[in-house]
């Protein structure tokens, strides 16, 4: 490369992870990145953040070498800059692109890319100079959120009647220490140090809701085994009313993590690989029907270990829609395969990027296009796309227009990331049922997630913990 200039134009309403990926890609194929920002007049109704604030946000990104305001039209700006490369998202590849006519006869090339689509991508935090407080203040200002409103919402959790449906899991943590190399197998030998067991899966989702003050029922299944007894004891301790169908046909799921100095060494899963039987499905549905007259919110916590299937979720969702019961859902894909698209017409779904891409079989689209596709497929009113340490993106549809925003992670030094999504699901779902405001609800969910990853294992987040965090933001 020899002083190559790449150019990206847009409104940049809210900077999110997809933009950073595209900026990084542009920088990787050029020496200088210039961003063209459409002025308020040209952007018109496409933006709800004024030009100065959008410009200020872009200036905080070290990847960008120069920013120009597109005041007249794109053609005049491109003639002035004379870039070597124009970079656009892959979703524009089959669209009519006005840039092609403008650069006709020049050496400039139009390049399409979704940026880096490796789902294990790590964004360099040094690329963003914004600290969390500044980003959070901007977010609050955009959506007219304040502490009084937040506290008002969480104080009403005690009025909520919540039903959690999904897989029960035991999370076991075994801490071990390396003592040397085995001469027989050339493998590292560890000694046992300590063991802790926690309630996981839909169980901890219900326990979080109960600890926040909600009146909670849990509907699930487990095996007639020692692990099933452990779950019952924990649910009683956490004041969760449960309707658990015990059967000798399945095993209670347990996930064992061996770790040393907060680093994972090995994972061993004791899974239930049996499909959901029609008999078990009918029993779960019948119990749901009896409970359905006295609930405000149904949370599907689906880990895809045999408690839920597409037929059962549809039967339950149909009843919820008839009775105007709010529905939220999470369907996890990790060592097992899940499909968030089986949850239709939900008020909220909270997939990871991997889960969204797997469901759509789409590894290429930019994040906002990905969210639009997922919303159309699931008919969800709200989507929170979680991205681990890179925070989350919120997608809201009001039956006419869609809106997007992003929130940074509120805990960049996690002790253990296990259970982050469960905590977010509970906090955001309960807040959305109370307030109807996805922006405020996403913040509460994000804060719940930040609290959860500051501890070793899954223990219910208490109301006082949440209110203390809110007080200190």
Complete domains list, the chain, with CATH: 5-117 (3.40.50.620), 147-471 (3.40.1190.20)
Q: What is the pLDDT of residue 2?
A: 65
- Token code pair at residue 313: 């979720």
Mode of pairing for the β-strands spanning 241-247 and 215-223: parallel
Q: How many degrees, rounded to 5, is the angle at CA 355 between CA 150 and CA 253?
A: 90
pTM exceeds cut of 0.75 = yes
Helices (H) and strands (E) in the chain, counts: 16, 18
Asked if 284 and 307 count as a contact pair (C-beta separation under 8 A), the reply is yes
What stretch of H or E contains 387?
Answer: none
Task: Give the residues of the chain that fall short of pLDDT 50.
Answer: 1, 116-131
| 420-435 vs 438-452: helix crossing angle, rounded to 10 | 150
Longest dimension (CA), the chain: 74
In this prediction, residue 331 carries a pLDDT of 93
Q: What length does the chain have?
A: 473
- What confidence score (pLDDT) does residue 15 get? 83
State the Rg of the chain over Cα. 24
For the record, the structure tokens of 213 come out as: 């003050």
Q: Is-contact 12 54, C-beta < 8 A?
A: yes
Beta bridge partners of 326: 297
Contacts of residue 186, Cβ cutoff 8 Å, sequence gap at least 6: none
Read off the pLDDT of residues 231-246 as tens digits, 9 standing for 90 and up.
Answer: 999 999 999 999 998 8
CA dihedral 177, 183, 186, 192 (to 10 degrees): -20
Q: Give pLDDT tens digits for 116-155.
A: 433 333 333 343 334 455 568 888 988 999 999 999 999 9
DSSP state of 128: B
For residue 133, count CB atoms less than 10 angstroms from its CB and return exposed for 0-12, middle for 13-18, buried for 19 or more.
Answer: exposed
**pLDDT score, position 124:** 39
Alpha-carbon distances of 347 from 296, 383, 396, 431, rounded to whole Å: 12, 8, 10, 12
Looking at residue 1, what is its pLDDT?
45
pLDDT of residue 413: 79
In this structure, what token pair is assigned to residue 249? 């046909």
| Six-digit token string for 74 | 């794109």
């Amino acid at each position: 490369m020899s002083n190559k200039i790449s150019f990206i134009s847009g409104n940049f309403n809210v900077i999110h992870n997809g933009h950073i990926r595209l900026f990084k890609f542009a920088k990787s194929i050029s020496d200088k990145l210039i961003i063209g920002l459409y002025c308020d007049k040209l952007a018109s109704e496409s933006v709800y953040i004024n030009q100065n604030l959008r410009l200020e946000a872009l200036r905080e990104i070290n990847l960008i070498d120069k920013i120009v305001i597109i005041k007249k039209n794109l053609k005049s700006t491109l003639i002035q800059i004379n870039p070597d490369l124009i970079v656009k998202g892959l979703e524009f590849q089959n669209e009519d692109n006005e840039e092609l006519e403008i650069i006709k006869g020049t050496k400039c090339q139009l390049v399409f890319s979704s940026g880096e689509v490796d789902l294990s991508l790590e964004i360099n935090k040094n690329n963003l100079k914004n600290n969390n407080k500044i980003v959070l203040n901007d977010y609050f200002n955009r959506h007219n959120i304040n502490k009084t409103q937040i506290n008002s919402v969480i104080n009403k959790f005690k009025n909520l009647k919540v039903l959690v449906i999904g897989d029960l899991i035991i999370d076991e943590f075994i801490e071990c220490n390396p003592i040397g190399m085995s001469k027989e197998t050339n493998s590292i030998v560890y000694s046992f140090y300590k063991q802790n067991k926690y309630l996981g899966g839909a169980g901890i989702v219900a326990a979080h809701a109960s600890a926040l003050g909600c009146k909670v029922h849990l509907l699930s299944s487990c095996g007639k085994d020692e692990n099933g007894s452990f779950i019952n004891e924990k649910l009683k301790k956490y004041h969760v009313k449960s309707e658990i169908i015990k059967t000798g046909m399945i095993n209670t799921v347990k996930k064992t993590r061996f770790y040393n100095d907060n680093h994972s060494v090995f994972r061993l899963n004791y899974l239930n690989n049996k499909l959901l039987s029609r008999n078990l499905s009918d029993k779960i549905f019948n119990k749901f029907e009896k409970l359905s007259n006295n609930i405000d919110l149904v949370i599907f916590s689906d880990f895809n270990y045999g408690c839920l299937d597409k037929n059962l979720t549809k039967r339950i969702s149909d009843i919820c829609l008839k009775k105007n019961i709010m529905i939220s859902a999470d369907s996890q894909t990790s060592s097992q395969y899940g499909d968030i698209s089986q949850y239709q017409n939900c008020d909220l779904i909270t997939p990871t990027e991997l889960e969204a891409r797997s469901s759509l079989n789409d590894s290429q689209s930019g994040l906002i296009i990905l969210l639009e596709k997922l919303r159309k497929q699931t008919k969800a009113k709200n989507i929170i796309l979680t991205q681990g340490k890179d925070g989350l993106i919120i997608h809201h549809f009001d039956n006419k227009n869609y809106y997007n925003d992003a929130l940074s992670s509120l805990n960049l030094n996690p002790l253990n990331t296990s259970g982050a999504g469960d905590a977010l699901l509970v906090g955001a779902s309960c807040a959305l049922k109370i307030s109807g405001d996805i922006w405020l609800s996403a913040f509460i969910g994000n804060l719940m997630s930040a609290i959860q990853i500051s501890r070793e294992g899954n223990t219910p987040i208490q109301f006082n913990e949440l209110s203390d965090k809110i007080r200190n933001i």
